[in-house]
Amino acid sequence: MIERYRRHTATLAANTNTTLFTVPNDGESSSGAAETVIIGFLIASTQNSTQNVTVTLTDYYDGVVRKIVDTIPLLQNSSVDICPGKMVLMHGLNNATNAVLTGDIIKVQSTGTTDVILSVVERV
């Protein structure tokens, strides 16, 4: 297997639920066929007031939205690493009656403007 390092960045507007990353399809259909590992996840405030940040993961298998962080305070002109360890993201067939290939989705929402940097390793 080949591994590919990727960085995804975004500048988020206040109160906008933004899709930052969707695990890509590598053509494999077996469960757990495609994996992506988060190796860094930084969120930085770009305004002069405290704001709240929520990060969610939409599960590829059942579509359930799970919170990674829920309304954590982000002080003015500060940053936070919300994933100091590693987290595996998946891509595979979902559990629908007519199963389709789909991937986990990471979304970020903040009450103020923020910059987000997500670093991942994709298995290709």
* Domain 3-123 of CATH type 2.60.120.340: yes
Question: Is residue 28 predicted with pLDDT exceeding 80?
Answer: no
Say how far apart CA 28 and CA 93 lie, in whole Å. Answer: 9
Q: What is the pTM of this model?
A: 0.88
Q: How sure is the predictor about 93, in pLDDT bands with cuts at 50, 70 and 90?
A: confident
Cβ atoms 113, 44 nearer than 8 A: no
Q: Is residue 86 within a helix (H) or strand (E), and if so which, with residue range?
A: none
- CB count within 10 Å of CB 48 equals 8
Beta-strand relationship, 79-81 and 87-93:
unpaired
Determine the Cα–Cα distance for residues 120 and 21; give it in Å rounded to an integer.
10
